[in-house]
Chain A
């Protein structure tokens, strides 16, 4: 066929095809006169095209049973001959195979990993994990025997062959009684417990991985395999460069796994909860949303798991009460509110069987409060927390050695040592924390770099020591936060909080530390409502766990008070700050740095409420204590100096004020680095002073520096950027540079309008914010 002719046919066919019969006949007759060949062609095509039904529905396919046979059958892989294909899953195909070298007469299950997965990575992991997995010696766990690379390069794993049926099918076939189901479930728990004690998390527990042999014995398959094959688990030998999707089994994967967060033993507790629910009711708890991880995750934000007794089924009545609570506790979206371990889950099932009261309690309002706080606190940076890893080989090996030599004594020794190391680290880093130590430091930048580079390795090394890991996360978060690395700090502090909630539970004072510091970070970002809920939660937690007469409780009073002040609510803030001051004086004596902090904050509130003289006196007292305790060039000294300068300016002494502001800025620059938010605050104040002396060019210079630092540190719509842009715009206008002033003034206006609808409120806030600029704890 000539393409040109086909083109003509194509155009005419399209035209004729859409015509009614009469129109079509006329057009065809016309065509017949002009080009008989073309006419014949089109007529036959139109006639063929008019057949209804033919070729219209897509091809349906009944391949019978003779699909191309699996080419692997009868092939040899390593010393194994493939006998039969027994299953497929997300990771690959499973074959029944036999060792073919006459060494053993043993049938095995050979799992051949799918084509396209990262062979090298999997094999590396396999070499690391095999010792541990091979050490999982338990009658209910199918042993990992071997592994290697097939001739085509795909990795394979060899396991004990289990000729059983999935546990759900077994329960069905045997029509097991409720008691028998629960006893079977306890056996499963024992196996999982054993693995957890050996630091192996299954991560993919589901009925298909829990087989029951004809004699009733249970075998769990694939321990540790999911992690080995998960592309999102960092490679041990090189930095992870590309995120991949997890291999998850929808319906059984815990929400934290769905969200791509770090997975601990809690994910197995969750899966066991799903399995228990399924064995009891013959259906999974979230059938409607389970296939879509995002839908399930958002469903779990709003709903708890359904109670088994509300599901239609044989045992509904017997499930009411204990078993509802047990599955509900295993299926808690918040890992910290789940059973803390498989032991705890099994213990409650056992107590239920023995007719004893169970330990789990139904979800309470307290949970909802914690969850609310967490949701708000964690809103920043929850996107899949993947980190490039710089893991040192030797360290991994050391960690392995520690895990393998697992006598209790040795573990205790390891922990002791680890605690000492942490202590040392904290001391070491405290020296370089500019907020904690005095002194002029030019090497802040290098410290920052070191922290940023080392954080992942430090954190990952402690994977098996969750409490320590949480401390390290918190420590790094604070250090980086003090250095102005707010995003990193938020992320690490948040992870620290997660880890503490998971390991310590929500009622631990360390959790309050995380909440408190997260509050500080959010306050710095202008997220005042979030900061307030965090500070309030921290205060409540400290009051209830540590009591009122405690320094950390005093800190919470102080921080919450300052936060009210920052928002202009000095009437609310002042009593809290005063309470913090009272407690600190009582606990630390009158001339302690923490007392000075309270004095500084109280001074701000006093001055803001209109008592300038009393405010100045309090600032001077705070300054004296800080200089005495911290030395002349500490950032806290600069904080108070800055505030004092503001008071001095207001009482009409701009020259003295300017020199004090300048000294404060110099100290901050030296100790915190040139781009710290305090430096920008200092330049802002310097700009206002210069402006008040009608030195507009000088003011513009200061304000430009302020704005440039803020733009680098803060999100575009932040109120501080509006402040800076407005002040700079005014200065430029006064300096006779309106064309430069205009875009800045517009930007400030846009931010303000976005922040508040009511212009009167905007004006009020402008006034308040200007005053707040002096507030630095």
Chain B
């Protein structure tokens, strides 16, 4: 993928070509995975990838910076956040399958996960549950679910999220606070217990 191609797709999307964004998603998905593979290839001990770094690296690599406006940067980040969520969720699913198949890799907990995650296979299960909850949230508040995608899965900061979703930073902060509270509450409830649906 050359920077020119992605950029052209983003520019077409900006001009209203709805199909262009759909074509961008698999490209960005693949690129993010590609970058992750390369990082892993370096086999640094204890190396964790942050989605933030992945997304930014993909942006630098895929987008011809001389041709994009802020809107297109926003669109890239928006699509990348969707791709990042898919990668992380797919990976978590693979991981869980592996574990059930007898694998014995235990993933370290990350700061954000300790509170709510169940005891076993915290990371993978947690991500999968979070994913399902986000799907639910997006049924009535798609915007808030997208904010979570950007902030949590893609590691975008408030300004980048605002850019990606075309909204103000104050709204991002509000949506984030509420969605986060809701997710945490739903995560805490024992699986299967009644929730406020």
Contact = CB atoms under 8 A, between A and B. Distances in A.
Interface of A: 1-3, 6, 9-10, 13-14, 17, 41, 44-49, 51, 53-68, 70, 88, 90, 93, 114-117, 231, 242-245, 247, 294
B2 A244 contact: yes
B105 interface: yes
A49 B48 contact: no
Contact of B174 (A14, A61, A68): A14
Contacts of A10: 141, 174, 178
A13 B181 contact: yes
B180 A49 contact: yes
B120 interface: no
A56 B184 contact: no
A244 B64 contact: yes
Nearest to A46: B181
Given A13-B178, A17-B177, A58-B151, A64 B105 contact: yes
B112 A56 contact: yes
B20 interface: no
A68 B184 contact: no
Contact of B197 (A1, A44, A88): A1
B141 A6 contact: yes
B78 interface: no
Contacts of A2: 140
A242 B7 CA distance: 11
A540 to B, nearest CB: 37
A231 B2 contact: yes
A85 to B, nearest CB: 8
Given A3-B141, A51-B184, A245-B67, 17 more contacts: A1-B139, A13-B181, A14-B177, A17-B177, A17-B178, A44-B185, A44-B196, A45-B185, A55-B152, A66-B105, A67-B91, A68-B33, A68-B91, A116-B1, A116-B6, A117-B2, A244-B2
Contacts of A244: 2-5, 64
29 contacts: A1-B197, A51-B115, A54-B115, A54-B116, A55-B116, A58-B112, A58-B151, A58-B153, A59-B110, A59-B112, A61-B49, A62-B48, A63-B36, A64-B107, A66-B94, A66-B98, A67-B91, A88-B37, A114-B2, A115-B30, A116-B6, A117-B1, A231-B2, A242-B4, A243-B4, A244-B2, A245-B7, A245-B66, A294-B66
Most chain B CB atoms below 10 A, which of A14, A44, A61, A114: A61
B169 interface: no
Contacts of B49: 60-63
A10 B181 CA distance: 11
Nearest to A293: B66
B92 to A, nearest CB: 10
A61 B64 contact: no
Interface string B1-20: 11111111000000000000
B5 A116 contact: yes
Contacts of B156: 58
A55 B179 CA distance: 10
Give the top 6 A-B pairs by smallest Cβ distance, nearest first.
A244-B4, A49-B181, A58-B155, A48-B185, A116-B1, A48-B184
Given A64-B105, A66-B95, A245-B3, A6 B140 contact: yes
B153 A59 contact: yes
A90 B6 CA distance: 14
B58 interface: no
Interface in B69-125: 88, 90-91, 94-95, 98, 105, 107-108, 110-112, 114-116, 123
Nearest to A42: B181
A88 B188 CA distance: 43
- Count chain A CB atoms within 10 A of each CB in B37, B38, B154, B197 and give the residue with the most: B37
Nearest to A294: B66
Contact of A68 (B8, B51, B94): B94
Interface residues of B, number: 64
A579 B4 CA distance: 55
Contacts of B1: 114-117
A3 B140 contact: yes
B132 interface: no
A63 B127 contact: no
B47 to A, nearest CB: 8
Contacts, number: 158
B159 interface: no
Main secondary structure of the interface of B (DSSP, over half): helix
Which of B4, B7, B64 has the largest count of A CB atoms less than 10 A from its CB?
B4
A245 B178 contact: no
A58 B154 contact: yes
Given A1-B140, A45-B182, A63 B91 contact: yes
A245 B182 contact: no
A9 B197 CA distance: 13
A117 B107 contact: no
A604 to B, nearest CB: 46
B50 A62 contact: no
B27 to A, nearest CB: 6
A173 B22 CA distance: 47
B135 interface: no
Contacts of B88: 59, 61
A17 B98 CA distance: 41
A68 B180 CA distance: 29
A462 B196 CA distance: 75
B170 to A, nearest CB: 10
Interface string B128-159: 00000000000111000000000111111000
A65 B7 CA distance: 32
A66 B95 CA distance: 8
Contacts of A68: 33, 90-91, 94
A58 B151 CA distance: 6
B152 A88 contact: no
Contacts of A58: 50-52, 112, 151-156
Nearest to B23: A116
A628 B105 CA distance: 98
A245 B49 CA distance: 28
Contacts of A64: 95, 105, 107
Contact of A53 (B90, B111, B141): B111
B167 interface: no
A241 B115 CA distance: 55
Nearest to A4: B140
A444 B33 CA distance: 59
Contacts of A48: 181-182, 184-185, 188
Contacts of B127: 59
Contacts of A66: 94-95, 98, 105
Determine which residue in A17, A44, A46, A243 has the highest number of CB atoms from chain B within 10 A of its CB, and name it: A44
Given A41-B196, A48-B188, A114-B2, A53 B112 contact: yes
Contact of A49 (B27, B141, B177): B177
A53 B40 contact: no
A556 B67 CA distance: 42
Contact of A62 (B3, B66, B107, B151): B107
B165 interface: no
Nearest to B34: A88
Given A17-B177, A68-B94, A59 B105 contact: no
Given A49-B180, A60-B48, A247 B2 contact: yes
Contacts of A54: 112, 114-116, 180, 184
A61 B36 CA distance: 10
Contacts of B5: 116-117, 244
B183 interface: yes
Contacts of B182: 45, 48
A570 B8 CA distance: 55
Nearest to A3: B140
B185 to A, nearest CB: 4
Contacts of B139: 1
Contacts of B33: 67-68
A117 B6 CA distance: 10
A116 B27 contact: yes
A45 to B, nearest CB: 4
B115 A116 contact: no
